[in-house]
Homo-oligomer: A and B are copies of this chain.
């Protein structure tokens, strides 16, 4: 067990991982490049550890040292204690959850490995909002999706906001990135999945009536970004276009709500 170290200077190089957490542009570049991500709050830090991520360091305000005593005892990485003021000065915001950990990223699995043994997968195209990514992972975990695949332009599931909104589900739902888009969907199809593109278009098949969904066969649900929805290229690369039946004259569902409904629909359709 490392002895917690009290740090007092904002320019201490040991605090480098935690600098300017509110600068989204900076952190989006830095975190993948440096191979780290930030877990925030007691629950999320514990879940990252349980999922087997290696800790680089932990940063606590004094009143959180007690609540995290067992985590500190088990830690093999340095633990830094700082005042709430210093935490704010370094990170750029008031850290009211009082516990941050810098965790090491792991290489993502190859999509084909992830698809092996999976039955229901979500494939996201260009979902670049961290809140939506997090919300979709949370619903995917709750509703039993086996894996998530991301197009190259999707946001990072390990970005702090995504992790938090997902309640740690980004650690439990396996995910991978498809390098070529939409050609990468061929890998999905080759693994025996029917690729279903979700669209609000009234001409698409109602999701609950699709034969593969009703039969509980292997299906990959293709979801597009808020606003634009799926590109035409992605829709053409799918096997079918499917829809959630909606009231006339109403804007489509938010992508996170649409994802939850679609995950439920493919879960309910399947035989068990």
A contact residues vs B (CB 8 Å cutoff) = 135, 138-139, 141-144, 167, 169, 172, 208, 244-247, 250-254, 256-258, 260-261, 264-265, 267-268
C-alpha gap A258/B257 in the complex (Å): 9
Residue of B nearest to A268 (CB): B208
Known A-B contacts A135-B254, A167-B251, A208-B268; the reply to A142 vs B246 at CB < 8 A is yes
A138 touches B261 (CB 8 A): no
C-alpha gap A144/B245 in the complex (Å): 9
Least distance between A259 CB and chain B CB atoms (Å): 8
Q: Which residues of B contact A244 (CB under 8 A)?
A: 143, 264
Q: Which residues of B contact A143 (CB under 8 A)?
A: 244, 246-247, 253, 261
Least distance between A271 CB and chain B CB atoms (Å): 13
Q: How many copies does the complex hold?
A: 2
Residue of B nearest to A248 (CB): B144
Q: Main secondary structure on chain A at its contact with chain B?
A: helix
Q: Which residues of B contact A261 (CB under 8 A)?
A: 143, 260-261, 264
Residue of B nearest to A247 (CB): B144
Known: A138-B254, A139-B254, A208-B268. 11 other contacts (CB 8 A): A135-B254, A135-B257, A138-B253, A138-B257, A141-B247, A141-B250, A142-B250, A143-B253, A172-B250, A264-B265, A265-B268
C-alpha gap A138/B141 in the complex (Å): 23
Q: Which residues of B contact A138 (CB under 8 A)?
A: 251, 253-254, 257
Of A172, A208, A251, chain B has the most CB atoms within 10 Å of the CB of: A251
Least distance between A244 CB and chain B CB atoms (Å): 7
Q: Which residues of B contact A208 (CB under 8 A)?
A: 268
Q: Nearest 3 A-B pairs (CB), nearest first?
A: A257-B260, A144-B247, A261-B264
Residue of B nearest to A208 (CB): B268
B135 touches A246 (CB 8 A): no
C-alpha gap A139/B259 in the complex (Å): 12
